[in-house]
Every structure is written in structure tokens, then in C-alpha cells.
Amino acid sequence: RHLGPPAGASERLLQRGLWQQVRPPCRPRRSRAWYHGC
């Protein structure tokens, strides 16, 4: 796990990547973005 960046950074990156894969980039355009809890 500790390949270089702190665990917090890697976790955030992983979470961001997973979120992007699970759902498209959140954009303040439709009310659905709010529903997704972006």
C-alpha cells in the first residue's frame, strides 16, 4: 500500500477513481447531482 504517497492521498485517489467509474463526473447542472451527494 505504501508505494510513495501517504495512505490518505492514495485512498482519496482510489475513492475518486471509483466514484468516476461508478458515476460520471458530477456537474452542477441537473438536480440529480445533488441527489448523488456530490
37 vs 10: which has the higher pLDDT: 10
pTM of the model: 0.26
pLDDT at res. 11 = 80
Amino acid at 10: S
Confidence of residue 15 (pLDDT cuts 50, 70, 90): confident
Which pLDDT score, from 0 to 100, does residue 30 have? 60
d(CA 33, CA 29): 7
Task: Tell me the chain's radius of gyration from C-alpha atoms.
Answer: 13
pLDDT at 13: 72
Distance CA 23, CA 18 (A): 8
Residues 14 and 3 sit within 8 Å (Cβ to Cβ) = no
